[in-house]
Structure 1
Amino acid sequence: MNEGVQAAAAPRPVGHYPHARRVGDLLFLSGIGPRDAATNAIPDGIEAQTRAVFANVRAVLEASGACWENLVDVTVYLTDMAGDFPGYNRAWADHFPDPAVAPCRTTLGITALPTPISIELKCVAHVPERR
């Protein structure tokens, strides 16, 4: 199985690419940001943006037949590592309270993202094929 996924409940991608692509048991999400799917608004503050991006990731996972617990690896891009890491880390801990079952995580500080957002996630999930 090799199929692209567009999630109606997630904000439209800012380029010509799918929200996700499933290949066998793996689901690869394109970079997901915190924009609101209906209004394109960006929440204020890193904790609100982190919670919004998590909601958008959930929407893509669900549209792909996956769930939050299927996440195995997350790469996080922050435009202000020094200022935003603590708030982002608090929101992460709320959503993944048990580190033993949380996905692996890498957090990178970068100069900019394609839109005026402070955070973007790149995710991989394991989704066993239905038989």
Structure 2
Amino acid sequence: MEFISTSDAPAPGGHYSQAVSANGFIFVAGQLPFDHSRPGHPPEGIEAQARQAFANVEHVLLAAGSSLNKIVNAIVFVTDIAHWPEINRVYADIMGQHRPARTVAVSPQLHYGCLVEIQVTALA
């Protein structure tokens, strides 16, 4: 087991790792939509937040020697299911033809007033 850390994504705000590599998989902790240089300040709007959260996921995957096209499962937490169409559009734009398993779950309140959080599992 290896604990993954990169300064290109926001530092963990609690007792956890950005990701853990184990048995050929990378388990990326939920990524909020913060630029690592502005912790605690998400961008405005669901599209900008989704893109930033995906950018953080990608930075962590790259630090682990993986990539977005190796994602096998994604869980996208949103504060309102009304965000689903925009989340789906951004997700499709970023993932392209790659179609990992995915869950979109409503979480009425995310940390720091964020609208989205993304957690993934990928191949190493």
User: Do they fold alike, i.e. is TM over 0.5?
Assistant: yes
Q: Deviation of residue 114 (structure 1)?
A: 2.4
- Shift of residue 59, structure 1, vs aligned partner: 0.4
The AA in structure 2 aligned to 1:20 is A
Q: Which residue of 1 aligns with 2:35?
A: 36
Which residue identity lines up with residue 9 of structure 1 in the other structure?
Answer: D
Q: Take 1:65 and 1:79, find their aligned partners in 2: how far apart are those partners?
A: 31
Aligned ranges 1:106-117 → 2 under 5 Å: 106-117=103-114
TM-score by length of 1: 0.89
Show structure 2 runs of 5+ residues with no match. none
* Unaligned stretches of 5+ residues in structure 1: none
For the Cα contact (< 8 Å) 2:69–2:95, is it kept in 1?
no
Report the 3-state secondary structure (helix = DSSP H, G, I; strand = E; otherwise coil) of the residue aligned with 1:115: helix
User: Aligned to 1:108, what secondary structure does the other structure show?
Assistant: strand
Distance in 1, Cα, partners of 2:110 & 2:6 = 21
Other structure's SS at 1:57 match = helix
SS at match of 1:30: strand
Identity %: 35
Residue 50 of structure 1 pairs with residue 50 of structure 2: yes
How many pairs were matched up?
123
SS in 1 for 2:9: coil
Distance 2:84 2:22 in 1: 32
Q: 1:115 Cα deviation (Å)?
A: 2.2
| CA shift for structure 1 position 103 | 1.2
Provide the secondary structure at the position in 2 that maps to 1:9.
Answer: coil
Q: Which residue of 1 aligns with 2:67?
A: 67
**RMSD across aligned C-alpha pairs, in angstroms?**
1.0
Runs (4 or more) in structure 1 with deviation over 2 Å come to none
Q: Offset at 1:96?
A: 2.0
Structure 1 position 68, deviation (Å): 1.2
Task: Report the Cα distance in structure 2 between the residues aligned to 1:23 and 1:115, rounded to whole angstroms.
Answer: 30
Instruction: Give the secondary structure class of the aligned counterpart of 2:84.
Output: helix
Q: CA deviation at 1:13?
A: 1.5
